[in-house]
Structure 1
């Protein structure tokens, strides 16, 4: 699966080390006219930030030293900076790391400095803003203190190969409603064919990854991973089991996805890129690449289960300020600039690496004539209405959540029912969630 804006398990594991070493860490010194900004990204993101930060320096006179890493190296290098007492003034923060950073004294509470400014928080996606609020117990609540602003929100939409459907004579899906589960199976069966007549399937309806694609199916079928206050695991329910079983049956019963041997030859992402798969997820971070594919594609909502209500996950990456920055006001100014300035947003959005952070700007962007993909409005719909945080985004570690995937393969291979597996795995997940919540309480007491 492609990169996501949700922290990987390895990054989460490093947070424990940060908590032990961060108290008292920080740069705490520096030129009043110079601050450091540490972020991750490829050439497109680096170039966009260079252009935006050049304008920030022109406007404010504050020089910004950029520290750029690859996505895979970011967590390790940030941990090293914290451990060495050289926290950059401004840096990217993952949703799932925020509580540890707060308890260990890494992040500055920017609530007052933001409130004193002229930025309109109501014009930024509420999910994005609330992701970096923490009241000491729960993260993501509107009453918590603000420890960062969203660099972006990452709506995870469902894409389809428009050219493939047109060539097959299949009516295009409604851009606002998409398909029910039954409708989706019907269409994907029609797309799963042997195109060259050699007796082997070479075009498939879909090819999804359970770890990144099960969420929308569970939610739209009335299931969830935990209760509302994130204290009880709730995967062992008929609604959850039905969604997981339906996912597995796409391969084992309906046979509309590449087999294990097919995927070993060429994974489903590569097959999507080659025009061999009809339906595949699309995030804003994919657009710069997908717009250059040899076929037309567009966006629709994810297929909906028994509730008939659309749902998918919505990620976010934040930008925070070191609690020991020697230049806190300039640092907060940079955060506000990168997340809310219209020109800065235009630079980042035009690089096709995110949707606009500003709601009014996003609505205009979605309605642009000739937009690629044409149904950008689905990204906006997810950001405003149907998107949800990933299950482990706001818990103290993800081990409890990762446990679901550890031994799930027999279900995906058709060797075990989803219901039996979920009954086995829920107690293990509950034990790990209890441990995570206990660590959160201990960290709060120590902080």
Structure 2
């Protein structure tokens, strides 16, 4: 699963203004060969995910007789194609939804309230991660709480863990990190320096301690240091605090002061993800969607808590949802498919066996994590993030993410060491606040 950008407030406002709920979803009509029902499922994913979902859907069709027309896109194309389908009044019966797009889709009438249908289905919502279920609840004012109507079910929960190259550590004679105790920032940087070396003696560094992406990895440092993007009710942007600035500066210093990451020139030749895959980087993030690929690498790896500037580890846990179109010709079958993909034990086993996600079902997840023969060995770390120290992404439950995306727009001078983090955050906070205010106003107007 790649992390594509979520819909901006501008686009979601346009959807609210232009959608006319007059068209039918789910194929043209009953098929001519006997009236079999057919519904459409639109999702995104790589090769492994496509294969796993097709296998699960084939079994669903065999069990129910309901045909499913599968539309699958790459992650980077999904949002654009779904927006086009919505604007063209050709919404798929069942489709992936981002957390941050849920409120706009509810306001514009795209998503069906499936609360009663799910209750009647008999699935045990208490056996699905609460964070996943609540992510798709909305009470008209607040998203993510247990009292809202249900507008989707979790496709997954995505704990963003931290990995290390065990083979590299062993070759360097460095003790393996403790799987339960996070490294302090000083310990982490020290190990990174030991791992950053010229392995072939040509005078050029070709192995690095780490190589992190600011958009997906800064969150851990900020939260672990006591900072955050907003106040608790998501009305005030709080990036201009000393805690936030210290975290961003420490991130930039990995490259400009500590010299433990590939330079911009190195990254232009081969990005850090590819260098991790090639065994050239010691520490790198690992999501459940990475496991099917990482398990085939030429080195051993495992999971540990995120290193921290503060006293405790922190990271984010994401989620994708499965929603049902409000204009589906076959709403009962569409809800049935959504509940099947999210909560059926056989379907979950198919997806989990493909190493593309952790189980949605809590009892299945406990058994899955306890498998000591599995790779990575410390799969329990994924569950610890979901149960303990994972945070929702800053824009997960706001009306669009344009305010959040603004932080990354002009951040490169900080990463290049040409501007201090504190100065940059002081100039960005008012811009982000204005966009958040607009987002809140848009939500109130839509509501």
- Shared fold (TM-score greater than 0.5)? yes
Deviations 1:344-390 (A, max 9, x none): 01111111111111111011111113111111111111122211111
Q: Contact 1:25–1:87 (CA<8 Å) still a contact in 2? A: no
1:365 maps onto 2:368 in alignment:
yes
- 5 Å-filtered alignment, 1:125-204, equals 125-204=129-208
Distance 1:162 1:287 in 2: 15
Distance 1:28 1:412 in 2: 46
- What is residue 123 of structure 2 aligned with on the other side? 119
Q: Equivalent of 1:107, from 98, 105, 111?
A: 111
Find the residue that maps to 2:121 and give its secondary structure: coil
Deviations 1:138-178 (A, max 9, x none): 21111111100000111111010000011111110011223
In 2, the alpha carbon distance for the partners of 1:443 and 1:342 equals 37
SS at match of 1:116: helix
Query: What is aligned with 1:322?
Result: 325
Segments of 4+ in structure 1 off by > 4 A?
9-13
Instruction: Name which of 4, 13, 19 aligns with 1:22.
Output: 19
Query: What is the alpha-carbon distance in structure 1 between the residues aligned to residue 198 and residue 401 of structure 2?
Result: 41
Aligned length: 440
Whether the aligned pair in 1 keeps the contact of 2:6 and 2:98 (CA below 8 Å) is no
Map of 1:284-433 to 2, 5 A cutoff? 284-306=288-310, 308-433=311-436
> 1:86-132 CA deviation, whole Å, 9 max, x = no partner?
21111111111101100000000011111222111111111111110
The whole-number CA distance in structure 1 between the counterparts of 2:372 and 2:358 is: 16
Asked if 1:230 corresponds to 2:227, the answer is no
Post-superposition shift, 1:73? Answer: 2.2
Distance 2:25 2:352 in 1: 33
Structure 1 Cα separation of the partners of residues 410 and 86 of structure 2: 35
User: Conserved in 1, the CA contact under 8 Å of 2:6 and 2:100?
Assistant: no
The 1-side partners of 2:68 and 2:176 are apart by 48
Partner Cα distance (2:72, 2:23) in 1: 19
Gaps in structure 1 of 5+ consecutive residues: none
Deviation of residue 11 (structure 1)?
Answer: 6.8
Name the stretch that deviates more: 329-338 or 36-45. Answer: 36-45
Shift of 1:136: 1.1
The equivalences for 1:233-244 within 5 A come to 233-244=237-248
Query: What's the secondary structure of 1:65's corresponding residue?
Result: strand
Per the alignment, residue 219 of structure 2 pairs with 215
Post-superposition Cα deviations, 1:34-92, rounded to whole Å, max 9, x if no partner, equal 22211122332222122212222222222222222222222222222222222111111
Residue 91 of structure 1 corresponds to 95
Offset, 1:328:
1.3
User: Do 1:106 and 1:322's aligned partners in 2 also have CA atoms closer than 8 Å?
Assistant: yes
Shift of 1:247: 0.7
Deviation at 1:9, TM superposition (A): 5.0
The answer for the alignment partner of 1:64 in structure 2 is 68
Q: What is the CA–CA distance in structure 1 between the aligned matches of 2:9 and 2:97, rounded to whole Å?
A: 12
| C-alpha distance in 2 between matches for 1:290 and 1:55 | 28
Cα gap change, 1:162/1:418 in structure 2, threshold over 3 Å: closer, same or farther? same
Q: Is the 8 A contact 1:313 1:389 kept in 2?
A: yes
The answer to whether residue 2 in structure 2 is matched with residue 3 in structure 1 is: yes
Deviations 1:271-312 (A, max 9, x none): 111111100111111111111111111111111122x12211
SS at match of 1:67: strand
1:45 and 2:42 aligned:
no
Is the 8 Å Cα contact of residues 8 and 400 (structure 2) preserved in structure 1? no
**Alpha-carbon distance between aligned partners in 2 of 1:360 and 1:66, rounded to the nearest angstrom:** 29
Could you say what the CA RMSD is over the residues aligned between the two structures, in angstroms?
Answer: 1.6
**Paired position in structure 1 for 2:33:** none
Residue 75 of structure 1, aligned match among 75, 79, 83: 79
In 2: Cα distance, 1:269 partner to 1:85 partner: 38
Give the superposition deviation at 1:265. 1.8
